[in-house]
């Protein structure tokens, strides 16, 4: 995938995940953004070859939630 298309996908996905974090945790947008950007989930998401960008914002949030709760997360099976 071309870099610009990949960046565009991230530009669409990331705010949706951060919004879900704000809805489910008592965090403001800045804190939620910081936590997400520092997560293992985001680290893998920004690597195009991991294909995490195929997942929905809700699935990415659930992965983040699992990581935040347990310190790690399981990669979901693709449907």
CA distance 62 to 55: 11
> How does pLDDT run across 11-22, given as a tens digit for each residue?
999 999 999 999
> How does pLDDT run across 43-63, given as a tens digit for each residue?
999 999 999 999 999 999 999
- Per-residue confidence (pLDDT) for residue 79, from 0 to 100: 46
**Domains in the chain: boundaries:** 3-70
H helices present in the chain, as ranges = 3-24, 29-37, 40-45, 57-70
CA distance 4 to 61: 24
Angle at 18 between CA 15 and CA 24, to 5 degrees: 145
């Amino acid at each position: 995938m071309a870099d610009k298309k990949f960046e565009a996908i991230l530009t669409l996905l990331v705010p949706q995940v951060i919004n879900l974090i704000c809805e489910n945790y008592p965090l403001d947008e800045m804190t939620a953004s910081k936590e997400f950007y520092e997560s293992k989930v985001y680290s893998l998401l920004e690597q195009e070859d991991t294909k995490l960008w195929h997942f929905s914002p809700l699935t990415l949030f659930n992965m983040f939630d699992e990581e935040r709760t347990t310190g790690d997360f399981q990669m979901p099976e693709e449907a």
